[in-house]
Amino acid sequence: MTCAPVVDTSRSPFAKLRAVSVNAVILTDHFWAGRRQLNREVIIPGQARLCEATGRVDNLRVASGRKAGHFVGWFFNDSDIYKLLEAASWQLAGSNDPELNALVDGLIDEVAAAQQPDGYLNSYFMGERAERRWTNFDYHEMYCAGHLIQAAVAHFRATGKRSLLDVAIRFADHICARFGAEDQGKVFGTDGHPEIEMALVELDRVTGDRKYLDQVKYFIDVRGYGKLGRAFGRFESSYHQDRVPFREMTRLEGHSVRAVYLNCGAADLYAETGEPALHEALERMWSSMTTRQMYINGGLGSRYENEGFGTDYELPPGRAHTETCASVANFMWNWRMLLIDADGRYGDLMELALYNSVLSGISLDGTAYFYQNPLLDDGAHRRQQWFPVACCPANVSRTLASLPGYLYTVSDNAVWLHHFARSQANLTLPDGRAVSLIQETEYPWDGKVTIMVGTAGNFAMKMRIPGWVGAGWTLTVSGAPVDQAVVRGYATISREWSAGDRIELHLPMPVERIESHPFAVDNQNRVALMRGPILYCIEAVDHPGVDVRLFALPDQAALTADFDPDLVGGVSVVHGEAIISDADLAWDGKALYRRYTTASAAASFKRTPLKAIPYFAWANRDPGPMMVWLRRA
């Protein structure tokens, strides 16, 4: 059996947890297994067709001389093929799938053929543009290389084949030979778009070649001195994390995907080197992100003009940029922090981003994508089949494909359960002992999680107790209560297990009203609805004849939830009663402003049913206004 962890910390001295292989866990639920199957049957084949139809694969063929023509599209279009290859590779882990294998092998063949004798590989910088290689840091050459390396590592881990790995190594060696300290005869440089950092750490882990790790350190060290200049001639150094040396960073700044990808790389480097300053910077940025810079759905980036962070508390719901890639990046960064620190707050954030801003990035039928994930809309924002800048689709796809690898980790004598989904797991403790577990749950709709232990032995089970859970949660083993002390987000059950022992965790999931810090002015006097890990929204299609933007939710209004198997793929729906004031109805499009009188504040109102659905499922039915933050009444 291949061993295919998403981030391999099995020999990382400064990571507390070891990732397990993607194929060590088999999802058996409707929610995630269904989506992973959709990934295999619809999403990946659809993206492969679009990579062909949009000339992305032809770009490689032109570069290799297999086809006449010219490069088309954005200079980073190769990266979409690499991310697709990564997704397909994770999907292949542990599966016998000749058709998908053939698709992957065919694409790898095109990639390999386009590689130059010196290892260089980028279909944009071929022909007459070959002269311009490595002359502009913002042309994403290392960004594309990073995605190539990540795909190659995934492919190697999942299939054992070296076909793409050898290509990636040649390109990585080319880069390592070229960029570095001048006294080593190398030239200054790094990429305007971080990505290669985390890829090279994994290449170090796969090959055992330490030079890749040294290269990552160099790439992080050279940032922060304004030496990369303005990106695309218009964005300042902060756009590409070149304003402040990494170890001095106090908040996330600039382009959100770039910023968080860089943090992924720095976290990976820390797992190997244990350099305190890296960890401290990561913690400062995490703290800034979670207290001042992040949307309630785990989305990042509030400005369209630079796809980046705004000032603290600048979190407009309608103009939220919240790129799907940034949420994937947030998920990836928190995975790395979790592996390093074994702290449940990172698992909480992975969960938040996954359900509420990664998943919203794709339609329920797997054929259309959001680039931005706003929290308020008038009905115009719809998912698209594809984009000229198509970074988001395959980012969702690689996340879905690798999902089984995030549920559990292991450490000395312990199994850690981070994410809840019906599944079967065959894990291996660091000392080689096998542990099998069956997880039964209807999560995220129900907070009851049962773990059937299939292997006798002495080890600890560490269960994440989500940060969203309030009082009343319980934990038992074969019916008997166990110690509910929670340390850094985990309850621990250490004992001599017998095969057949049942762990039962019950996490109550009432509908909660969430308010935001008053400085997030757009949300003042508003609440959002959450139930368990799921963020809710209201959509026009469920409220015919009224505009949901006029809704106000009385603080006392009861909110209930029930499962509707026929709605948007089967979801728990929140029901309640909102009010619409007659004063608000009186606007009726006649004016934008009017004199305020206390009479209008105290106006009479109508009651109207409120039906909220999970935010991730919005915009899958008839278009119309949608909102997350509801006015309080």
**Which residues have a catalytic role annotated?**
307, 391
Which three-class secondary structure state does DSSP give residue 439? strand
Residue reference for tokens 């042309």: 139
Give the dihedral sign, CA 190/196/200/201: positive
10 Å CB burial of residue 380 (0-12, 13-18, 19+) is exposed
Nearer to ligand FUB, 322 or 620 (CB): 322
Subset of residues 310 to 329 that bind ligand FUB, contact rule: CB under 6 A: 323, 325
CB of 361 to ligand FUB, least distance (A): 13
d(C-alpha 294, C-alpha 321), whole Å:
11
* In the complex, residue closest to ligand FUB by CB: 257
* Contact residues for 633 (Cβ-Cβ < 8 A; gap 6+): 552, 553, 554, 555, 578, 579, 605
Instruction: Give the integer Cα–Cα distance in Å for 90 and 203.
Output: 16
Q: Which of 151, 392, 449, 461 binds Zn ion (CB under 5 A)?
A: 392
What string marks each residue from 257 to 296 as x (binds ligand FUB by CB under 6 A) or -?
x---------------------------------------
Is residue 138 involved in binding ligand FUB (CB under 6 A)? no
Q: Which of 11, 10, 29 lies closest to 407 in space, CA to CA?
A: 29
Nearest to 611 by CA among 573, 579, 580, 581: 573
Stretch that binds Zn ion, among 92-100, 340-348, 385-393, 396-404 (CB under 5 A): 385-393
The count of other CB atoms within 10 Å of the CB of residue 181 is: 12
- We find the least distance from the C-beta atom of residue 395 to Zn ion, in angstroms, to be 6
Q: Under the criterion CB under 6 A, does residue 307 sit at the interface with ligand FUB?
A: yes
Q: Which is nearer to ligand FUB, 398 or 462 (by Cβ)?
A: 398
Contact yes or no for 70/124 (Cβ under 8 A): no
Mark out the alpha helices in 179-255 (DSSP H runs): 196-207, 211-221
CB of 389 to ligand FUB, least distance (A): 5
Which option in ligand FUB, Zn ion, none does residue 627 bind, with CB closer than 5 to 8 A by kind?
A: none
Q: What are phi and psi of 505, to 5 degrees?
A: -110, 130
- In this chain, which residue has its C-beta nearest to Zn ion? 325
Of these partners, ligand FUB, Zn ion, none, which one is at the site of residue 193 (CB under 5 to 8 Å by kind)? ligand FUB
Q: Is 76 a residue that touches ligand FUB (CB under 6 A)?
A: yes
What sign does the dihedral 306-311-313-316 (CA atoms) show? negative
Nearest residue (CB) to ligand FUB, 329 versus 349 = 329
How many residues make contact with Zn ion (CB under 5 A)?
A: 4
Piece in contact with Zn ion (CB under 5 A), picked from 142-150, 179-187, 388-396, 608-616: 388-396
Quick one: which of 626, 630, 612, 499 has its CA closest to 560?
A: 612
Among 193, 336, 345, 381, binds ligand FUB (CB under 6 A): 193
CB of 535 to ligand FUB, least distance (A): 23
CB neighbour list of residue 166: distance below 8 Å, 6 or more residues apart: none
**What is the per-residue binding string for ligand FUB in 21-60, x denoting contact by CB under 6 A?**
----------------------------------------
51 binds, among ligand FUB, Zn ion, none (CB under 5 to 8 A by kind): none
Binding Zn ion by CB under 5 A: which of 325, 352, 354, 417?
Answer: 325
Three-state SS annotation for 278-334: HHHHHHHHHHHHHHHHECCCCCECCECCCCECCCCCCCCCCCCCCEHHHHHHHHHHH
Q: What tokens appear for 605 in the block?
A: 């109102």
Q: Closer CB to ligand FUB, residue 356 or residue 395?
A: 395
Counting DSSP H helices and E strands in the chain, the numbers are 16, 23
Q: Which does 389 bind (CB under 5 to 8 A by kind): Zn ion, ligand FUB, none?
A: ligand FUB
Query: Cβ distance 149 to 168 under 8 Å?
Result: yes
Chain residues 339-398 in contact with ligand FUB, contact rule CB under 6 A: 389, 391
Residue 171 near ligand FUB by CB under 6 A: no
Q: In this complex, which beta carbon is closest to Zn ion, that of residue 59 or of residue 327?
A: 327
Minimum CB separation of residue 442 from ligand FUB in Å reads 35
Residue 619 contacts which entry, Zn ion, ligand FUB, none (Cβ below 5-8 A, type-dependent): none
HEC string of 567-590? CCCCEEEEEEEEEEEHHHHCCCCC
User: ∠ at Cα 101 (98, 104), nearest 5°?
Assistant: 155
Task: Retrieve residue 307's tokens.
Answer: 């796809």
Q: Residue 392 Cβ, how far from ligand FUB at the closest point, in Å? A: 8
- Scanning 316-324, 465-473, 489-497, 514-522 for contacts with Zn ion by CB under 5 A, the matching segment is 316-324
CB of 35 to ligand FUB, least distance (A): 23
Q: Which does 307 bind (CB under 5 to 8 A by kind): ligand FUB, Zn ion, none?
A: ligand FUB
- Size of interface with ligand FUB, in residues (CB under 6 A): 8
Binding site for Zn ion (CB under 5 A): 323, 325, 391-392
Binding site for ligand FUB (CB under 6 A): 76, 193, 257, 307, 323, 325, 389, 391
